[in-house]
Structure 1
Amino acid sequence: MGKYQLIATAAMGLEALVAKEVRSLGYNCEVENGRVTFIGDEAAIARSNLWLRTADRIKIKVGEFKAFTFDELFEKTKALPWEQFLPEDAEFPVIGKSVKSKLFSVSDCQAIVKKAVVERLKKHYRRNTWFEENGALSRIEVALLKDVATITIDASGSGLHKRGYRIDQGEAPLKETLAAALVMLTNWQADRPFIDPFCGSGTIPIEAAMMGQNIAPGFNREFVSEAWKWIPEKVWDDARMEAEDLAKYDQPLDITGSDIDHRMVRIAEGNAIEAGFGELINFKQMQVRDISVSKEYGVIVGNPPYGERLGEKKAVEQMYREMGQAFSKLDTWSIYMMTSNEEFEEFYGKPATKKRKLFNGFIRTDLYQYWGKKPPRQ
């Protein structure tokens, strides 16, 4: 087994959660803006792809160096051990980005990195002709930040938010990685009731169910690195076997998702069936003001409308007021609402116990947390 520098990329504000997940897999890590770095072997590549709920994707860092000129970029890229990662038939497109760097032309940087990799591989595989690139995909990225080039290979393929269960969605679906983060930021445990009163296509309840039964989020999808010849098939078989062994399929769950739109309720039901939770999650059409509970010590998590569109503002503010009134009686329940509306607490009628800044795509939001009474110790 080799040792590789791995990067789990993260949305702004989720780095600490990704780091917590990486450490729970047994790897020491460092947290930076937008990424968590750690050292791991081939098994770490498979396990992190399968298990990280809040990361965007897994990359292998091939090299990092300062580059002020195209010559430097070419020579330092060519000096990297590309033959370790790319067999003779590899397909290796190059993508790029550049921020605050002298080498600002992304297309030129991509072309130079591509040429450097080709030159290195030509020498290693002793050939004079161009490569056919008809084998497994290894997408290379050159990312320049303040004249430092980080060169990586993407080990995920589709982003990790693509779990494989979303067969339909609404207008502005919540990313699965952010939905998982919202659940992680609560005090919910699998033996307690859980409600999402704005369930949309069901993402938050489905992510909660996956966490409640400890099901690896990547269990039902494929990853680009599964096709790489230098990672033995057994590594992936073992990682999937581990995920199967750790799943708690018999863990009972009390999870409800509701939405005012009956079409979204139907979509959510379809997605839950696809995820394997058709019988376990209860979806219903309901307005948030009509929510009432008979149980105690539950958790309510929601991504309500923000009221950013013209004409929606007043209706959304009224809905926040009604929500505050409906939830005011739930003193043993903890409530978590994510919205970009900075006056949420005023309309809700109560200051939050705690606020946390998060980004829903490019929208800056706050997660307003209202902590309920703790259950008595058993």
Structure 2
Amino acid sequence: MKNHTFFITCSFGIESICKKELQLFNIEKINLNNGFLIVNASLNFIELAKYLKSINRLYYIIKETEISNYDEIYKIFKEIEINDFFKNKNGINNVDVITQNTKLYSKKTIKAISIKALKNYISDKKNKVNGNNNLSIFIVENKVYIGLDCFGKSLHKRNYRLDGGISPLKENLAASLVINSLKFDHEYLIDPFCGSGTIITEAILFIYMKKNLGLFPIINLKNLDQELSDEILNKYICKDEDIEIDKERNNNIEKKKKNNKVNINLYNCKYFIGADIDGNAIENSKRNIERMLKIYFNNSYNFRKIENIFYIYKVCEINYNFYIILVNIDSYKLKEEIEKIELLRKIDKTNAVLISNLPYGKRLDKKFTNNNSLAAIQKVFKDFDCEKYFLSTMKFLPALLEKQPKKKRKLYNGKIEVTLFNF
């Protein structure tokens, strides 16, 4: 099967994290840019993309060519029969433009020319169920790429999170924090300010290879590759092949391990711990986690509550089991409280990692007073002698913790600029 060109959009700052996730699936032909990646792969990649947790949208490139002026954009679109590429013949719903390192930088001009050329295809008929017919124009240096949105919707949304907390973390950003921070020998993942539980939930979906549901290709795959037989089309594109995709990723990990190309093994995390002082946040976490377990794990879990503080889920599947522990406690006391649970007494600096979106903005209001939250952050930092990854708007965090980070990375939670500190 021949290779095709795809564009993946993502949040600024996580491009290399997306690349790391793609490489777990043996995707190697990747070109990084600011806010997007260019990938060369077979059409199977469209099915594989349903498993990716860090990306925003996937575009199939139907045309790429060199360009020197705005007038050429009109000519390019006049040569393309757009409706041949979409299953839904209702026309184009949205046209987006991304430019980078080019003299053709006016997005308004490019969009206006494109809409004029596509006037017979533009439509206001939205399809909220199966996704809209979206088209994007990427101009990088002197090349233009015309891309079709493979699913017609953003891939960052999951169907488990109906109860959000204050200043919620986007799902794909939470997943990116996990992919960036979690090592294969970590057994414990701890989020001391868990809010609605997005980080630990995304960690579970990533580690246990759960497909993002409700995604169906809206582009006409058969027209994209005439060599694609009906047998292959049905096997890899039209059906859910969870086992085959999972096997491919694990085989790739084992192969790289044997070849000593990358020092990786299968993820070993079995304990996912989330804490929050706010009882409402813990209730939101419980509802989100229980929806996730119902949708992705067929409710295969046991639940117990201890002293209205600890909420423990033991998830039992044929090939694995793991624990989710929610703690309704001030994180200032988190270390001493979790040591009361026998399951959690073996946490040390080698087998655990802290990943958290620290309180900021409205999360510091009312009971989340500035002083109390900062004291809790300082106490957590001192109590846990393991690697820590804190996402925060506080530029002064290293001074507060009296420690310089090993690394820091500028990211965006929506439009809010944040920094990921690695201590």
> Structures share a fold, TM > 0.5?
yes
**Equivalent of 2:271 in 254, 266, 270:** 254
Distance in 2 of aligned mates of 1:19 and 1:311 = 37
- Structure 2 counterpart of 1:242: 244
Measured against aligned partners, the alpha-carbon deviations of 1:266-312 in whole angstroms (never above 9, x if no partner) come to 11111111211763311121111011143223111111113589978
Aligned residue pairs: how many?
A: 352
**Offset of residue 87 of structure 1:** 5.7
Paired AA for residue 221 in structure 1: G
Structure 1 segment 237-316 matched on structure 2, within 5 A: 237=239, 239-243=241-245, 253-276=270-293, 279=313, 280-292=323-335, 293=339, 294=345, 295-296=347-348, 297-307=351-361, 315-316=369-370
Paired AA for residue 301 in structure 1: I
**Offset of residue 83 of structure 1:** 6.6
Matched, 1:74 2:127: no
Paired AA for residue 210 in structure 2: A
Measured against aligned partners, the alpha-carbon deviations of 1:89-125 in whole angstroms (never above 9, x if no partner) come to 354334133766357346623422424769xxxxxxx
Runs of 5+ unmatched residues, structure 1: 119-129, 371-378
- Structure 2 counterpart of 1:221: 214
SS at match of 2:181: coil
- Structure 1 counterpart of 2:402: 349
List, as ranges, runs of 4+ consecutive aligned residues in structure 1 with deviation greater than 6 Å.
132-136, 308-312
Q: Are residues 92 and 23 of structure 1, via their aligned partners in 2, closer, same or farther at CA, if it must alter by over 3 Å?
A: same
Paired AA for residue 368 in structure 1: F
Distance in 2 of aligned mates of 1:15 and 1:83 = 31
Matched, 1:365 2:418: yes
Distance in 2 of aligned mates of 1:34 and 1:80 = 26
Query: What is the CA RMSD across the aligned residues, in angstroms?
Result: 3.6
**Equivalent of 1:179 in 174, 179, 194:** 174
Paired AA for residue 254 in structure 1: Y
TM-score by length of 2: 0.72
Distance in 2 of aligned mates of 1:155 and 1:274 = 27
Paired AA for residue 240 in structure 1: D
Give aligned-pair identity as a percent. Answer: 23
Q: Are residues 137 and 179 of structure 1, via their aligned partners in 2, closer, same or farther at CA, if it must alter by over 3 Å?
A: closer
**Offset of residue 80 of structure 1:** 3.8
Q: Are residues 31 and 326 of structure 1, via their aligned partners in 2, closer, same or farther at CA, if it must alter by over 3 Å?
A: closer
TM-score by length of 1: 0.79
Paired AA for residue 354 in structure 1: K
Q: Are residues 274 and 359 of structure 1, via their aligned partners in 2, closer, same or farther at CA, if it must alter by over 3 Å?
A: same
Distance in 2 of aligned mates of 1:300 and 1:133 = 42
Q: Are residues 290 and 141 of structure 1, via their aligned partners in 2, closer, same or farther at CA, if it must alter by over 3 Å?
A: same
Paired AA for residue 306 in structure 1: Y
- Structure 1 counterpart of 2:318: none
8 Å contact from structure 2 (residues 354, 387) kept in 1: yes
- Structure 1 counterpart of 2:7: 7
**Equivalent of 1:321 in 367, 375, 381:** 375
Distance in 1 of aligned mates of 2:219 and 2:324 = 32
SS at match of 2:19: helix
Q: Are residues 241 and 137 of structure 1, via their aligned partners in 2, closer, same or farther at CA, if it must alter by over 3 Å?
A: farther
**Equivalent of 1:151 in 131, 146, 155:** 146
Measured against aligned partners, the alpha-carbon deviations of 1:36-85 in whole angstroms (never above 9, x if no partner) come to 111122211211x2222211111111224426344x32211222464762
SS at match of 2:374: helix
Paired AA for residue 46 in structure 1: E
Distance in 1 of aligned mates of 2:380 and 2:126 = 60
8 Å contact from structure 1 (residues 3, 40) kept in 2: yes
